[in-house]
A and B are shown apart, each in its own frame.
Chain A
């Protein structure tokens, strides 16, 4: 059966703004050292903490990340360099890519000879759930000779004091080590914005339950990039998400789809490939669209799951009339955000990884869930097999493939496409026109 367009479609108007913000971030990074702004390497679940030191930059995978990851040969050189140093192929692919780029001198120096520059990190920080990241960023710090800090996220709000004391200690240690002044007002502002960003992210994901889905995983990936590279603590990021939400609400009202032939809705449980890949777009040939993932929702969102299985974003601080007056207040609020409503309460819990995925699949009206088994990322793959079993029992179709969001060598694209053809055809779908 030939299926033509079912829905009206428009590109997301804010796509250009998202790209511009990411490009601007890159440009700003090259000047950060000169301006005396704090450059922080490492991944953190919350980015509000360093904000008290003034304008800070999340270096994350380095300013050349996009160039490296999109050039397969260059990326492969980075991987091979890290592996030659002894880092096993099972270790986190993003860590190996970063370590390899450091060893090759590509991490912090501009690759554009006409625009020389350097963005050297001042320190490395992990506010972490994932042990891999801590191990990897610790190595990064040692290679660079910069201080390394880890703040452990406990599994739940009962250990709030442990979390807040680590945060407070970090502030004192870095202030002493760098001679920088810590401004509690800036922390307070950052916490307000970070809370708002997380709530907005949850609301954005909530709108994906509408048919047709107003955005797809390609847009979700770019929004994730904004949170990861700029930081949810920034006002402009929170404002951007507010705008995205408004545009999505408009799209929902007008029934604007990202995929005009949408007739099948899939969840994609993994980090989407950062390298060039047809993975996310391929199912569109059959009118299938990737509408989101639990993994991405819980990593950056703030929500509760209600008894009826619906996903409810938590209210903002403003809506709750919460007033933050001091550093102590700010750290307590941050702890609530991360430990009660964020990954602290979900990351290590198999039951939640299974039950919330099932509930989300129902809530989002997903026809199927695609799991990527990434041998280099236990944070993602933990619970996948159990969740797949639970979904199948509920009659939700499941597709499992091997791959990696960071290492193209782990992903057999031809095999994925061939098997995806079978999967989608087995769901009664045919190629659309």
Chain B
């Protein structure tokens, strides 16, 4: 895999203006379907969709397939009421809604890793009604810390490899997997370095811009993005931003794919410097442990990531991770973003809020559904910011 041109990325290499680069990345997010179709046409490759961070997408990449994360849009999910009731998680409904609308018609397959029941239902409904050519449910245990869990991860990953090889009619070699792993690890490292810049107390990068970069990494060829990220990193390191007087904030919560949500939050005097979203930092945080067998390396990759709410069922480590991130990035407040009807995150929120409070970090819980209730969210966030500023004075 070495796609370095297309969709304007060739031009971007020669343009070091971070604003232009960031703008084009945001375009990749907002025109993700066009990007994917363009990629397929350019390369002759196939595109598959996946629902969860833990899906071993690097295997697909090694096979010459572009893996794209299936995300919803900001327009709501009324069109899936015949499949998922409105009392089910809005994120899952949004993902299925995009599929039912035909936006993902270019996908040749979909994959899901064992997650929550709502996501399972969305995936099952997708397979049942949209009938992709390839589909696989991968059983990765929730309880990843059990000594036997790794054996399950490896056997399921090996099974996925066999299924893909059978579908493609060709083998996926160990070398291809190793090369793909290198691209992915580079991408993780570069994104982490970009996020590290947010520790600065200046306006180098808005939270919306950073989030768009991360989202784009899940929607585009990572090798292409690595080229962009290297250039961007150089430019941002040299850039001297104005001193940032906004409230430094973290957002934590369920999966969201809306850059507009970040923009809305930041329009109220907030600078989002870090996030704990599975579509955000949790998609790249951590470092995968190398392993001589590339299948083991792929399988154990999810062990290196922060535990999401559904993979933190019994250990309750996630609240501490949120607190650690908040401290590391010296945030003044944490906005807890609760996807409407997401029962898994609803259990975590009170514990996270209490832990933050006990450590002197105020938080604000916001329930989010799409289309966004902009006026309500703006009012609540601005009131919260006012209170924070008053307390500081």
Contacts and interface: CB of A to CB of B under 8 A. Distances in A.
Interface of A: 85-88, 90-92, 130-132, 134-136, 138-139, 142, 148-150, 152, 154-156, 159, 161-162, 165-166, 169, 348-351, 373, 375-376, 378-379, 381-386, 389
Interface in B73-129: 81-85, 87-88, 114, 116-118, 120-121, 124-125, 128
B186 to A, nearest CB: 33
Given A86-B349, A86-B353, A90-B341, A161 B85 contact: no
Contacts of B316: 138, 142
A413 B84 CA distance: 24
A348 B117 contact: yes
B289 interface: no
A378 B351 CA distance: 21
Interface of B: 81-85, 87-88, 114, 116-118, 120-121, 124-125, 128, 137, 139, 141-143, 146-149, 151-152, 310, 313-314, 316, 338, 341, 343-344, 346-351, 353-354
B85 A384 contact: yes
A349 B124 contact: yes
A385 B343 contact: no
A215 B257 CA distance: 50
A378 B117 CA distance: 7
A152 B141 contact: yes
Contacts of A91: 343, 346-347
Contacts of B124: 349-351
Which 5 pairs show the lowest CB-CB distances between chains A and B? A86-B350, A350-B124, A135-B347, A375-B87, A150-B314
A200 B112 CA distance: 36
B343 A154 contact: no
A417 B313 CA distance: 39
Given A86-B353, A132-B343, A138 B87 contact: no
Contacts of A378: 88, 116-118, 343
B121 A350 contact: yes
B344 A385 contact: no
B82 A389 contact: yes
Contacts of B313: 131, 134-135, 138, 150
Q: Which of B87, B114, B151, B316 has the most CB of A within 10 A?
A: B87
Contacts of A376: 343
Given A154-B141, A159-B139, A162-B149, A382 B346 contact: no
A40 to B, nearest CB: 15
Nearest to A134: B313
Given A350-B128, A386-B128, A131 B344 contact: yes
11 contacts: A85-B350, A86-B353, A88-B338, A91-B346, A131-B142, A135-B347, A138-B316, A150-B314, A165-B148, A378-B118, A381-B85
B346 A87 contact: yes
Q: Which of A135, A148, A379 has the most CB of B within 10 A?
A: A135
A369 to B, nearest CB: 15
Nearest to A388: B82
Contact of A166 (B83, B117, B148): B148
A412 to B, nearest CB: 15
Q: Which of B81, B118, B346 has the most CB of A within 10 A?
A: B346
B350 A350 contact: no
A112 B81 CA distance: 48
A349 B128 CA distance: 11
A152 B350 contact: no
A210 to B, nearest CB: 33
A55 to B, nearest CB: 26
Contacts of B354: 86
B80 to A, nearest CB: 9
Given A161-B151, A350-B120, A385-B81, 12 more contacts: A87-B346, A88-B349, A91-B347, A134-B142, A135-B348, A150-B143, A150-B313, A152-B142, A156-B139, A349-B124, A382-B120, A389-B82
A162 B141 contact: yes
A131 B85 contact: no
Nearest to A151: B143
Contact of B87 (A92, A379, A381, A386): A381
A155 B136 CA distance: 14
B148 A162 contact: yes
A128 to B, nearest CB: 8
Contacts of A134: 142, 313-314
Given A139-B347, A162-B151, A155 B139 contact: yes
B349 A385 contact: no
Contact of B152 (A136, A154, A379): A154
B148 A136 contact: no
Contacts of B341: 90, 375
Contacts of B151: 161-162
A344 to B, nearest CB: 11
Contacts of A159: 139, 152
Contacts of B338: 88
Contacts of B83: 385-386
Contacts of B146: 152, 162, 165-166, 169
B309 to A, nearest CB: 8
A241 B190 CA distance: 62
